């Protein structure tokens, strides 16, 4: 396999290092803006050099961002090249465009590193699907949020200090809003549900609430009531009906999720035959992420394409009801309140869709569902 590598940052450099000692694949050209020299790859700023090189059969996109990553990936598919990417925003945003195109052109498209970094989550879903239906996917998919929540809970750090630490350790996206507002987890949930259920989720039907409004007082309220807060995704399918949402969630202190430290991820599926399976590991970082990029290249050499056939467009129906912790409520919240926790309330069961619609109109509030 001859690889055209787009980007030489955290992930790109890792891919180059891991492939350097392999004889089944070679990074032939690297497209990046820095002036670097590599012993056995041509470095260029010009993507056309990769596109026009007929000996390059696979493009590894490790640039991040939507543009020009989308234009480069699209034209590489058009030119008949396989794609491997770790870019969840790219794949989730352009799923309905890129996946049918890849199928039409007969090229492989893989993005295992996009969800769970070093965890082989999407390729495991591909394997699970060979034997059984998946009824649930979800869990802790963002290392930055887990690092912040864990530091606030275990070390008593305030939100700003915990975020600064996560940024300095290189976990956070360039714009931390992508992490703390739940957008990164939202991309990862959409990709996971699409693969697990063989559908294309209507993105507008999948709400996301983040952690940017959480306070030390909230953490104290959770501790006093025996809970730990995590940002989690949740997607289900049953009889042709789907749920999908991202939100802070309170887990009993003895739950597996509550024990996940620092920037680790814990992603879970429920299979009709195998039951519940959880996958724990590094969701970010150079070598864990590059590891799964290289795994994807090996899978392509073994003849694999995408993880599932491109599926029909479906909307999530989030009418399922959950109890919520709400700080910063109004009359509607007061009418639905069942308990008081410090300066916040816990509601009676409220539809997830209704709660997220309320939060949109009350963006200064903090909400967390209580895990059932």
Contacts with ligand HSE, residue ranges (CB under 6 A): 117, 142-144, 171-173, 179, 184, 283-284
Gap between the Cα atoms of 57 and 4, Å rounded: 8
For ligand HSE, the closer CB: 18 or 166:
166
Gap between the Cα atoms of 295 and 113, Å rounded: 9
Q: Residue 75 CB, nearest distance to ligand HSE (Å)?
A: 25
For ligand HSE, the closer CB: 95 or 324:
95
List CB contacts of 288: < 8 A, sequence separation 6 or more.
117, 118, 281, 282
Find, among 305, 290, 323, 256, the residue nearest to 13 by Cα. 290
CB 221 within 8 A of CB 325: yes
Q: Residue 289 CB, nearest distance to ligand HSE (Å)?
A: 7
Q: Single out the catalytic residue among 29, 188, 203, 313.
A: 188
Residue with tokens 């060979």: 130
For ligand HSE, the closer CB: 157 or 333:
157
Q: Residue 343 CB, nearest distance to ligand HSE (Å)?
A: 29
Gap between the Cα atoms of 96 and 11, Å rounded: 25
CA contacts within 13 A on the Cβ side of 248: 30
Q: Residue 62 CB, nearest distance to ligand HSE (Å)?
A: 12
CB 4 within 8 A of CB 31: yes
Q: Judge whether 188 counts as a catalytic residue.
A: yes
- Which stretches of 302-340 are DSSP H helices? 331-335
For ligand HSE, the closer CB: 30 or 172:
172
Q: Residue 166 CB, nearest distance to ligand HSE (Å)?
A: 7
For ligand HSE, the closer CB: 56 or 231:
231
Q: Residue 153 CB, nearest distance to ligand HSE (Å)?
A: 17
| 202-240 b/e (C-beta count within 10 Å ≥ 16 → b) | ebebbbbbbbbbbbeebbebbeebebbbbbbbbbbbeee
Gap between the Cα atoms of 290 and 92, Å rounded: 20
Is 105 buried (19+), middle (13-18) or exposed (0-12) by CB count in 10 A? middle
For ligand HSE, the closer CB: 58 or 289:
289
Just list the catalytic residues.
188
């Amino acid at each position: 396999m001859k690889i055209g590598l787009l980007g030489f940052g955290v992930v790109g450099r890792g891919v180059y290092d891991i492939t350097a000692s392999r004889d089944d694949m070679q990074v032939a050209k690297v497209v990046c803006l820095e002036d670097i020299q590599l012993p056995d790859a041509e470095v260029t700023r010009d993507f056309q050099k990769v596109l026009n090189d007929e000996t390059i059969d696979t493009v590894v996109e490790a640039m991040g961002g939507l543009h020009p990553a989308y234009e480069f990936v699209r034209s590489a598919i058009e030119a008949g090249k396989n794609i491997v990417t770790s870019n969840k925003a790219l794949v989730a945003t352009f799923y309905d465009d890129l996946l049918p195109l890849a199928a039409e052109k007969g090229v492989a498209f893989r993005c295992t590193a996009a969800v769970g970094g070093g965890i082989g989550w999407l390729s495991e879903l591909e394997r699970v699907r060979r034997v059984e239906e998946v009824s649930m996917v979800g869990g802790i998919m963002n290392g930055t949020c887990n690092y912040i929540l864990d530091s606030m809970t275990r070390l008593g750090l305030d939100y700003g200090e915990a975020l600064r630490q996560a940024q300095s350790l290189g976990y956070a996206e360039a714009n931390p809003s992508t992490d703390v507002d739940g957008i990164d987890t939202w991309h990862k949930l959409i990709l996971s549900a699409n693969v697990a259920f063989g559908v294309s989720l209507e993105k507008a039907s999948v709400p996301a609430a983040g952690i940017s409004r959480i306070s030390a007082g909230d953490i104290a309220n959770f501790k006093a009531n025996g809970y730990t807060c995590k940002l989690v995704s949740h997607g289900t399918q049953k009889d042709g009906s789907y749920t999908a949402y991202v939100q802070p969630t309170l887990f009993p202190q003895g739950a597996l999720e509550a024990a996940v430290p620092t920037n680790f991820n814990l992603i879970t599926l429920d299979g009709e035959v195998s039951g519940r399976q959880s996958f724990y590991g590094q969701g970010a970082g150079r070598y864990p992420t590059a590891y799964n990029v290289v795994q994807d290249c090996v899978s392509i050499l073994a003849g694999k394409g995408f993880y599932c056939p491109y599926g029909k467009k479906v909307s999530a129906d989030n009418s399922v009801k959950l109890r919520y912790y709400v700080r910063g409520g109004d009359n509607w919240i007061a009418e639905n309140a069942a308990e008081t926790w410090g300066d916040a309330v816990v509601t009676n069961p409220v539809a997830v869709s209704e709660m997220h619609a309320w939060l949109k109109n009350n963006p200064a509030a903090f909400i967390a569902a209580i895990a059932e």
